[in-house]
């Protein structure tokens, strides 16, 4: 895992990438609660997500490592890491079996989709810890 991004200059800019509309909408709504995170976009396909990364320059991408495109989400994670090395990536899947593959593919952290809200916040904080002003 790469060194986590530390931020103190405003909310964490997050992009949500998941092929399932319901998951994307739920994550986007949950992350928008409070003032720590600003959701800058969401995408259901890798190509659209790459365009959003270029346009929106998020700090963190929350992605399902089992996207159906680009030979899977892990290939998307690798492509994302190659294009924007400093970006932080939180992989999220229903199965822990994909954790090692996602981390080996370049994700900074992994969280199961069966998370409790506190677990999601802990995963985001582990990936992008806040800094003292």
Residue 44, phi then psi, degrees to nearest 5: -105, -5
- The residue range of the domain holding 88 is 12-124
pLDDT score at 118: 81
Return the residue matching tokens 């190659």.
82
Q: Identify whether 40 is part of a domain.
A: yes
pTM for this predicted structure: 0.84
CATH number of the domain to which 111 belongs? 3.40.50.2300
Q: Which two tokens stand for residue 84?
A: 């924007």
User: pLDDT grade, residue 18 (50/70/90)?
Assistant: very high
Are 25 and 43 in contact by the 8 Å Cβ rule? The answer is no
Question: Does residue 76 surpass a pLDDT of 60?
Answer: yes
How does pLDDT run across 96-124, given as a tens digit for each residue? 777 888 888 899 998 888 888 888 888 88
Q: Identify whether 131 is part of a domain.
A: no
pLDDT score at 107: 92
Q: Identify whether 2 is part of a domain.
A: no
**Beta-ladder partners of 92:** 111
């Amino acid at each position: 895992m790469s060194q986590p991004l530390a931020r103190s200059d405003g909310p964490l800019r997050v992009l949500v990438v998941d092929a399932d509309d319901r998951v994307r909408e739920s994550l986007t709504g949950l992350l928008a609660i409070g003032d720590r995170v600003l959701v800058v976009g969401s995408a259901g396909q890798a190509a659209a997500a790459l365009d959003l990364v270029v346009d929106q320059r998020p700090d963190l991408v929350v992605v399902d490592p089992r996207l159906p495109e680009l030979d899977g989400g892990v290939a998307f994670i690798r492509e994302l890491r190659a294009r924007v090395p400093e970006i932080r990536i939180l992989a999220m899947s229903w199965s822990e079996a994909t954790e090692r593959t996602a981390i080996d593919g370049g994700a900074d952290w992994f969280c199961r989709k069966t998370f409790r809200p506190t677990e999601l916040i802990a995963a985001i904080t582990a990936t992008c810890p806040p800094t003292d002003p």
